Structure 1
Amino acid sequence: MKIRFFLAVIVFSIIYGVKAQNPIIKNLFTADPAPMVYNNTVYLYVGHDTAAVDAKTYQMPDWLVYSTTDMVHWKSHGSCLSTKDFKWASYAANAAQCIERNGKFYWYVSIIHKADENSKGGVAIGVAVADSPTGPFKDALGKALITNDMTTDMKHAWDDLDPTVFIDDNRQAYLFWGNGSCKWAKLKENMIELDGSIHTFKPQNFTEAPWVYKRKGLYYLVYAANFPETIEYCTAEKIEGPWIYRGLIQDRVSNSTTTHPGIIDYKGKTYFFYHNGVLPTGGNYRRSVCVDYLHYNADGTIQKIIQTTDGVKAVK
């Protein structure tokens, strides 16, 4: 009977496909997804919400890593980086993104800087490095790459949140980030030094969480807009701009005032990662990472994301 049962399961899976359920991580509260494709595997870097049910603020001590080769079954690699790995930092493992270059993996993080001789405090951006997508990672600089004192166009202490990094076809690397305004700078080939000045601009409705990529010669800047947050985007023919506003692509998510985009192409399909608060006892400070398909129109504009959460079948 057992053999017949397993054969039946295999036949059913082949005919109908095995489908994932959103949220894709259910045993922990996760946020700020940053997917990366490397060696035919998707690695997913996420923040870790540990706040109590009745908490009124974020508690995020570390970052977690997951991987998959089928977009259905996710392997946990545990906590691969912590606020404690940055001696100059104080707390708050905010949004981060990892990228590969020349066989090394650079993980850009936003984190609260200690008030010291190098910074008055506030959110800063650091970078960790490893020889593997799952680590072990170490602080690549021993200091922040960007401190709040280096950006003065916005007067609040958290305007240096949410780094995203992009390497163009000519191998020039760019770092984008920001809250209230979007900031960008070139990176040197070593990926741990800025190559020139910091630029700032304000895309329409921009709040935070930029995600930058290129498709068919067109640059895309996708970001969290307004508050409570939606996801909107701009495009440009040059990465330096001008950026043209293209509109809303994702409505507000369930049970969370924030969300965060992450976009990859994998095995012929495009996937859109985000977070909401739909898990039991979830909410603004206890969020959950989800993934759905992203589709383009013939002119390159993005179709509105169909959110499939609360146990609805999502990706195949």
Structure 2
Amino acid sequence: MHTSNSLRLIGAALCGALFLSGCANQLPQRSEHEERVERKLLDHQLQIDVGEPKVLELPQRRVRVHDQKNFEVTAFEVTRRYDRYTPYQPWRELYEVPLGAVAVVAGIGANVLNVVLLGSLPDSATRDWISYGMAGLNPFMNVESNGRAEQNLASIEEVQQDRRMEYSSLPWAERPVRVLAGEQSFELLTDRSGVLRLNLLDSPFTEQDIGRLGMLLLSVEDDRDETRAEASLLVSHTLRGKLREAHDLIFDDLEDDDVAQWVHRVKRLSDLGLEEEASELEQSLIELTRNDPELQEAFLKALLEDAGRLAADPVVN
């Protein structure tokens, strides 16, 4: 007797657990498709183009730095398949059971009517109503519901579509370039085009003993994979002899000089072969005299008569 009561209790507990847990209503499997591109770096090089000639005869030089990479590019079509189901919730049976009964009756009626109408009714009326009704009548299963469906990843399939080689050459834009000048080392930045503008008559080179500056060693490094590149530029003996004098002509105080001394500075820079620096100083003096039209006119006249240079205020023109 005791054994019989125990079996009844175990059976009741199992039935109750089955009722509470219920069965998930499986929905049609869903698939997602996407393309994945895999890029494998095969080669990485940095290139420093110091231009020609390799020996500096003028104080200014534009140096271009390129970041060059070779990739193996593989394209895959990825398919992800998901198992979908409606999780069981016991309290939904309170309304699904009566609705299921109605749906079964309606489905049977639709099938009878479909015979009379020679099969012209859609499957949603003849089959789907009965399927919905049977799921509703089942106390251990909820009807299908896309709105509260859950899903689990069932499988992933990748199919290779294409494989190709890809080359890129990008400017070393706004990145550091280390410049070794004599015993001093500086870190300068390139512009957005990957161009480093060197000017031996500008900081930080003016802080060095320019007369002994025989070579510039330039180097770049990508910290991500330690790719490096180096290049050198020699400074000619002739240029080294001009740099100190040119520096004084450009940077000594202009306001204490008169018009004749201004003209002498511009003319001397031109005589040294530093035409770009002469033009820059010329424009600086024009800007300096902008608020004094008479002084500016006197400077432009002396510049033409004593140095043979025809200059004008760029703002006026």
TM-score range relative to shorter protein: under 0.3
Query: What TM-score, normalized to structure 1?
Result: 0.22
Larger Rg: 2
Query: What TM-score, normalized to structure 2?
Result: 0.22
Task: Select the structure that is richer in strand.
Answer: 1
